Amino acid sequence: DYKGQKLAEQIFQGIILVSAVIGFIYGYITEQFGWTVYIVMAGFALSCLLTLPPWPMYRRNPLKWLPVQDSGTEEKKAADRKPKRHSKS
């Protein structure tokens, strides 16, 4: 559903943003760029774990689909059509 997709996107962006800020601050204090990268990668892994699987919290508002139509009506419509003739130049 669209509300679940919006929630997943907000969670993903929030975790990435928070981990980037924390990583930058921690890396700046320790003067180690590697820690910044590790913290951002950990935030990315956490956000993927929380947003990629189809958790029930993302499926609370299912979409209503149209009912399935018989395939026989499609064959009948295709038979009613006249083939197009191409003119020779």
- Which tokens belong to 63? 């979409």
Q: What is the tens place of the pLDDT at every residue in 51-75?
A: 999 889 888 988 888 888 877 655 5
Of 55, 74, 58, 41, the C-alpha closest to 6 is: 58
pLDDT over 90 (residue 7): yes
pLDDT at 32: 96
Q: What is the pTM of this model?
A: 0.68
Tokens 């990315």 sit at which residue?
Answer: 44
pLDDT at 69: 83
pLDDT at 35: 96
Q: What is the tens place of the pLDDT at every residue in 26-58?
A: 999 999 999 999 999 999 999 999 999 988 988
Residue type, 78: A
Distance of CA 49 to the CA centre of its chain: 13
| Ramachandran angles phi, psi of 4, nearest 5° | -65, -40
